[in-house]
Amino acid sequence: MTNLQALQFRQSLKQWTFKAIDESEWLPATVPGTVHTDLLDNGKISNPFYGTNEKDVQWIDKKDWEYITTIDVEENVMNHSHIELVFAGLDTYAEVYVNEQHVLSADNMFRTWRADVKPYIQLGANHIRIHFRSPIMEDLPKLEALGYGLPATNDQSEVGELGDKRVSVFARKAPYHYGWDWGPRFVTSGIWREAELVAWSDVRIENVYIRQNQVHAESADLTAVVQIYSEQERQVNLRVYADGQNWEQIVTLAEGTDAVQIPLTLNNPKLWWSRGLGDAYLYTFTVEVLEQNQTLAVKSERTGIRAIRLVTEPHPDYPGTSFYFELNGVPVFAKGANHIPNDSFSPRVTLERYRHEIVTAVESNMNMLRVWGGGIYENDEFYDLCDEYGILVWQDFMFACSMYPGDEEFLDSVQAEAEDNIRRLRNHPSIVLWCGNNEIDSAWSQYVEDGGWGWKKDYNAEQRTQIWADYEALFHELLPEVVQTEHPGISYWPSSPIVAVTNNEKQHTHGITDSGDIHYWGVWHNSEPFERYNTYIGRFMSEYGFQSFPEYKSVRTYAEESDLELESEVMLRHQKNGAGNRLIKEYMDKYLPAPKDFPSFLYMSQVLQAEAMKTAIEAHRRRKPYCMGTLYWQMNDCWPVASWSSMDYYGRWKAVQYYAKRSFEDILISIDQSVSGKVDIHLVSDLIAPKSLTVRVKVLGLDGTLYKEMPQSLTLAGGEAIKVLSVTTEQLLGDVHPAEAILVAELEHEDQLIHTEIAYFVSAPELALQQPHLQIVETEVDGVVAYQLTTDVLARQVWLSSENEGIFSDNFFDLIPGVTKIVQFKKLQTLQEVEEAAHSHVESNIVQKPVPHLPHFVPAKPEGLQIQSMADFIHLS
């Protein structure tokens, strides 16, 4: 066997310095990184997330910046036929020089850039310099040349001291860098992903794609599409192996780059399933190029075998057409959230932070995340984790809430960007949809004169024609063609939301539609009541949301005590939705008792958000199979801020994360009080197999007195959603005063309580709430520390907190007298703990899975445990 080390060389470029082009002092830099974080690390700017510091760093994006490094190249590298500089990401307008020879011009943050530097590399020290041009100064002339601005609603040009000059649409750069209604404006530059020097000779495998042609339980018809570069024409043996099976084929390679296809058949494949439906089994396919029994090149790719399709078809029982994902022949109800970048400075996002988010999704009973189109195509680690945990990914291309130019240069750049990212990501079984953009079709509303966001009125007829033609060229022609070519079998959806491409007024999603997906923002932006969630339901609810503040501990990372007031400058700077603080207070005044101080307001805002999202999620699930997806806005934050997120920038779960965990359970019991004077009890299953269940509906007093109990046993079919009971409030209450009653619906399976739902007959401010005496006793469950909670009277919104970071098995729940609640504190395993667990598991032969399957939240002991309830945050009468 040939020593592969002799055929290739790879070295990360880490030792960089940087400076502004008009300055002389070189400072140490971190790569991957950004100018902003390098300035922060060198003490040249204050923490941009703190206070009002965002406004003090807007000068950075108006300057050009330089990064330099030196790499020593030894003779063994010089002897290779090919020497390349490879940049996984340059942000954004960059000129690269090797020993002062220009080797590369970059203009797209989302692309991988390669430069052949063999002619310029010398033995010994080599100087590499990158000149980053200001993205603002680069794109202002493009705006001037166009003659009019394109709509870019979330480009906070005023914060960037540019007035109304919105230039974000001209750069192939993360849109959220220019600001959003939950994020700051930090228009970055820098080497934001890995930089490497790569040397190789003779033969190289450039890409392996395991194309899934037909997948059934009995067999999987696959094709290994292998892109190979060879320095000369030659006959080789191409071998593919996975899970003990191997396939071989003699092929003739042409000189240069060749694409070879090898048919593969897997009998009785282990299928990849989303969370809740089965094991997310992953195969590793290794491709080897051999010549006379010597290995010339080898490359491995991991993927899961699954049949996936987006089903948009008529149904005899419902109007319009369906919108759902079918996995291995099983319709999947999508449960999850929209994902945004985890940091304004994305190179700071570690594997640990990705793990925390994905394990949070799993712990919260989710099965889908939507990678939203105003951020980035995420790092490989994000998709690896989704693969391993069975989280489906709706993947947007990076276009959002703007109209974009359609000139040849721009379209060519987008095509290269799409090809790069699809080829990088297409082996991930988690990716089930490519979507062209976020909200642009409905925002422009080409076929409805007064529809959309009012954009069209700002343009004359000629301009409107051109803007829409550019839109169609990008989203109806270029991107679907690239998806079809590079990732066949995966559906493309041109915009979210959209009804369908009809080229008439029926195309755009406005109001409730019986086809396509829906973003519903009547609750929040239009101040509509929470109850509207019960009726505003479409086939797939891909966005809706409600804001809250992070908890006090998180707020204090960006604000002083003197800033803790809704209208303070700091609070307003960390509330990017103009009406946000007013709307939170307006809804709170309607649905909750008044908080007694600002820390209480923070807590109550989370309760408010959680109640809103519970209403929406369960309304959507009750309408299954008419509605087959519910993705709330949003999962996470990119900085500490008041926003729609369910966990804050620091990964701390808000109340809504715990609510979502309960409302997303695979078998759900849900109480519907949307029709006045009636109570309906629903059961929903997202499992494949039927379940024998017992439902118990109870009416209790606030002191725990049992007034009424209504039991019922039944079998719930797999995937079924049914109404099991419909009664009037009068029948339930009898002589009990509604302000002094609790409605409890319990769900049992094999005599085990698996879900409890609690509701009330009056609004929270009308409830006869008293100060509870909460008791918490440390105990053990299966040898692990746990806590036993009891109360003497109803305790609403019990909040457990600790000084150390972690989550609780349940939190923000109502505790009923006479009912004992057992909770555990959990923390995310460290990578070292994961590796140790994996090692011990493999050695003991208990489980044979890749290491990444093992990390999860595991029991731990909380420090400084506190327990509070709503009564502690309001003025009790």
**pLDDT of the residue at 846:** 36
Mean of pLDDT values over 222-239: 96
Quick count: other Cβ atoms within 10 Å of Cβ 722?
A: 14
Retrieve residue 565's tokens. 């007031």
Check pLDDT > 50 for residue 843: no
**Burial 758-772, CB ≥16 within 10 A → b, else e:** bbbbeebeebebeeb
Comparison of pLDDT for 877 and 389, the residue scoring more: 389
In tens, the pLDDT along 294-317 reads 999 999 999 999 999 999 999 888
**pLDDT of the residue at 174:** 98
In tens, the pLDDT along 568-617 reads 999 999 999 999 999 999 999 999 999 999 999 999 999 999 999 999 99
Q: What is the rounded distance in angstroms from the CA atom of residue 55 to the CA atom of residue 555? A: 19
pLDDT band at 436 (very low <50, low <70, confident <90, very high): very high
Mean of pLDDT values over 660-687: 96
The candidate with the shortest Cα–Cα distance to 230, out of 262, 252, 202, 251, is 202
Q: What is the rounded distance in angstroms from the CA atom of residue 5 to the CA atom of residue 297? A: 10
- Position 668, amino acid: L
Which residues, at least 6 apart from 719, have a Cβ–Cβ distance to it below 8 Å?
A: 330, 331, 333, 624, 625, 685, 686, 687, 688
Mean of pLDDT values over 373-382: 98
Please report the sign of the dihedral spanned by the C-alpha atoms of residue 326, residue 327, residue 329, residue 332.
negative
Domains and CATH numbers, the chain: 4-197 (2.60.120.260), 202-303 (2.60.40.10), 329-657 (3.20.20.80), 665-768 (2.60.40.10), 770-877 (2.60.40.10)
Mean of pLDDT values over 542-568: 97
In tens, the pLDDT along 739-753 reads 999 999 999 999 899
pLDDT band at 832 (very low <50, low <70, confident <90, very high): confident
Mean of pLDDT values over 524-531: 96
Check pLDDT > 90 for residue 715: yes
pLDDT band at 91 (very low <50, low <70, confident <90, very high): very high
* Cα angle, residue 277 at apex, residues 271 and 278 outer, rounded to 5°: 45
Check pLDDT > 70 for residue 535: yes
Comparison of pLDDT for 541 and 877, the residue scoring more: 541
**pLDDT of the residue at 848:** 35
**pLDDT of the residue at 844:** 39
The candidate with the shortest Cα–Cα distance to 539, out of 777, 290, 378, 323, is 323
Check pLDDT > 70 for residue 652: yes
% of the chain residues with pLDDT over 70: 97
